[in-house]
Structure 1
């Protein structure tokens, strides 16, 4: 599909401002590369790539494959909701009714709904014990190593495997039930390291750009961006950060991947935005960047 601002009912000048905002972030050292698609009503109004995706300077291409980060949770959630539609379980099914080992450590009443909306009370800050980094992608090993402790695991994929009538692994379920039907032929869980279109998401010379009390107290310079934090969690009244954009409609929803990725849908404007980048930044600043990108995209919508 050839992008057309006119066919998608976009203001071309506003889309130009959106491209400039992304290029400015690259020029100012906040990322190395980016790819964005903006569409309305089934028509693509903007599809463009920016910057270089590898440390040796390869220019970004339309067929680059990015690390989705936590945007991939949206894929798993969609598969879970599809399984609910199929009657395999409900949102209020207890996880332990499907995966009995999960009940250990006070988790016996956690439901699938609570896993989806991050209210299960489990903590994700530590790597599980007894498993090496290269085996983190092995769902069976990962689940076995963490089922007995009340911290750090994502079991929605394991639930899909345990209830799959065809007894497929998670990667195959995602391919056959989600990616293939939607025509997402280049999307997958797990990509060969030597794949020619793989974008190595690296930090290179980027600054960590995070508020670190120890650094501030000692008036130390910014350190390299060796990690990224995703967002902040707040309680109480006041103004909340939103990656959807402050001019988005109340029904708008979005997904964010740590320091680099995002999708957003505003159903009232029939607007979809998808943004992937190479080079992590600190999570709160990532949300601010996404809010700016989406606000400019929203301003491009001709009513």
Structure 2
């Protein structure tokens, strides 16, 4: 992983500091400007036409300490409702529509899992959480997890065997939801990959039991506040991009057009703070998160993890992070690129080999959810992979990708 840390002296004490992001040209970042222009144009194309991929899209691309492209297109809020008979959105009056910007908060959906994973690795670094410890050691009342010897590592790598999700949104109250979680036994073979929201929900309970703090406080105090990510928080978030006119039968709850409250039905049922979903953030804030990972856990004077523990987090198979997945990473996949996607249309990719990152936020579920299509995510990542041709600051060719 490229090291961008330097030692600085502040008030007579020496501390590690990593360069902050700054806007510059693609050439300065060692990126082909023509490929970046294509990428920006394609982002605009995603929000146009009779069947746009998303109502609105925000993009930030960077390499080293440079932001090489920051762009937004389309609408954060475009529709008042979804017309089931016409299979189309009911557009708001033009004066009521809200443009998407790179500072628009977006419901991150499963990108929340990355922050929960970092919070867990912070506890591992401190020695308060064992990566191969049994969940039952921290949560003895979670009977099924204890009985089947589910481990913290299995939760972080989606190898616990737990089912993908539960209808917590149909429970009568919090007590029933908690009892349902406590009773969940593996349905698959432990050690075999099966993506599951329940892994991060159990991990949330482990962290909260271990620290005595709630997940929202742990993420704020341990990640977003040190990094200066002031726009990243759990909802409600009134200024956020709208998501879905959430109604059955296409959704799992009848809540109407959503804006500023979490889209995920289980996270909503759990009060908006959940290990698998619930965070809102902006493209610029997530760029800082990506830069901190590429800098070995540091950004400016802040450090959220030591380099060895960032390596633990990102080394295959990844702890919370997906590794080398061409279906959304395109040609960046194959050498240790990491990232994640979210159901609402969000994604980020970090490539330690080329020291690049891509944040693509969208509200693809506005005005209603459709079958997932990650091809635009993969195309954007491929554009970035093909853009890498110089070392940052315009130095000699780095050998390409």
| TMscore range, shorter length | 0.7 to 0.9
Matches within 5 A, 1:1-303: 1-28=22-49, 29-54=52-77, 55=79, 56=92, 57-104=97-144, 107-128=147-168, 131-132=171-172, 142-150=177-185, 153=198, 154-164=201-211, 167-192=212-237, 195=238, 197-202=239-244, 241-280=326-365, 282=370, 285-286=373-374, 288-303=375-390
**Unmatched tracts of structure 2, length 5 or more:** 1-21, 80-91, 187-196, 251-262, 265-324, 391-401
Contact kept in structure 2, 1:203 and 1:279, CA below 8 Å: no
Distance verdict in 2 for CA 1:130–1:283, change over 3 Å: closer
Give 3-state SS (helix, strand or coil) of 1:51's partner: strand
SS at the partner of 1:180?
helix
Asked if the contact 2:55–2:74 (Cα under 8 Å) also holds between the matched residues in 1, the reply is yes
Distance 2:146 2:213 in 1: 30
Task: Give how far 1:282 is off.
Answer: 4.9
| Inter-CA distance 270–186: structure 2 relative to 1 (3 Å threshold) | same
Aligned to 2:380, the other structure's residue is in SS state: helix
Question: What is the CA–CA distance in structure 2 between the aligned matches of 1:129 and 1:263, rounded to whole Å?
Answer: 28
Any conservation in 1 of the 2:136–2:145 contact (CA below 8 Å)? Answer: no
Residues 121 and 283 of structure 1, relative CA distance in 2, 3 Å threshold: farther
* TM-score in terms of structure 2 length: 0.60
Paired residue secondary structure (2:159): coil
How many angstroms apart in 2 are the aligned matches of 1:198 and 1:44? 23
Q: Which runs of 5+ in 1 are unaligned?
A: 209-225, 228-239
Instruction: State how far apart, in whole Å, the 2-side matches of 1:105 and 1:185 are.
Output: 36
- Contact conserved, 2:326 with 2:333, CA < 8 A, in 1? no
For 1:24 and 1:178, the matched residues in 2 are separated by: 34
Asked whether the 8 Å contact 1:259–1:282 carries over to 2, the reply is no
> CA offset at residue 241 of structure 1?
4.6
Task: Go from structure 1 to structure 2 and tell me whether the alpha carbon gap of 1:92 and 1:21 turns closer, same or farther (over 3 Å shift).
Answer: same
- Contact 1:34/1:49 (<8 A) preserved: yes
Cα displacement string for residues 135-166 of structure 1 (whole angstroms, at most 9, x for unaligned residues): 7xx7x8743442123377321111111111xx
Distance in 2 between residues matched to 1:141 and 1:162, nearest whole Å: 19
**Please, what TM-score do these two structures have when normalized by structure 1?**
0.78
Shift of 1:131: 2.9
User: In structure 2, how many angstroms separate the alpha carbons of the residues matched to 1:141 and 1:184?
Assistant: 35
CA distance in 2, matches of 1:39, 1:48: 12
The structure richer in strand per residue is 2
Deviations 1:84-132 (A, max 9, x none): 0010121111001100122337753000111111111111333138735
Aligned length: 260
